[in-house]
Amino acid sequence: MLHLRDDGQRAMLRAVQNELFDLGADLATPGEDFEPNEMALRVVQPQIDRLERQIDAMNEALEPLRSFILPGGGAGAAHLHLARTIVRRAERSAVAAGREVRLNPLALVYLNRLSDHLFVLARLVAAGEGGDILWQPGATRSD
């Protein structure tokens, strides 16, 4: 949040930071029953729904994608792109762990939606930092 000036963006990330602890508790407690209870903190659908609403709202302010986005740009966007890649790695690890033990399916959905959320937020922050850095296929072939 250090590189974000927008209070709404900071609030979104504050909620995500809190939910990552919920997610960690959820993944640390595999089982058969994934309903929240006194003994097990679980990721729930409303958390995913909030991410989806925020993704939709942020996308409304952005130009449609015309190319792949290269991570980078200003400090805020670059840090969000890094966070997104870390969440993708966590998602792959959780899916692999889910082959060994039964995990809350909503925890896996949350990770997937969170990586998309961070990507869209990175684009939104980049828009205020000079715009997305677009991939230019074959741009360096003649160098």
In contact, 25 and 41? CB cutoff 8 Å: yes
- Domains within the chain, CATH numbers bracketed: 7-62+69-131 (1.20.1200.10)
- Segment 113-130 mean pLDDT: 92
Q: What is the pTM of this model?
A: 0.89
CB 26 within 8 A of CB 39: no
The tokens for 119 are 């990507």
Per residue in 15-52, pLDDT (tens digit) is 999 999 999 999 998 888 787 777 778 999 999 999 99
Task: For residue 129, count CB atoms less than 10 angstroms from its CB and return exposed for 0-12, middle for 13-18, buried for 19 or more.
Answer: middle
Q: Which residue has the tokens 């715009």?
A: 131
The answer, yes or no, to whether residue 1 has pLDDT greater than 80, is no
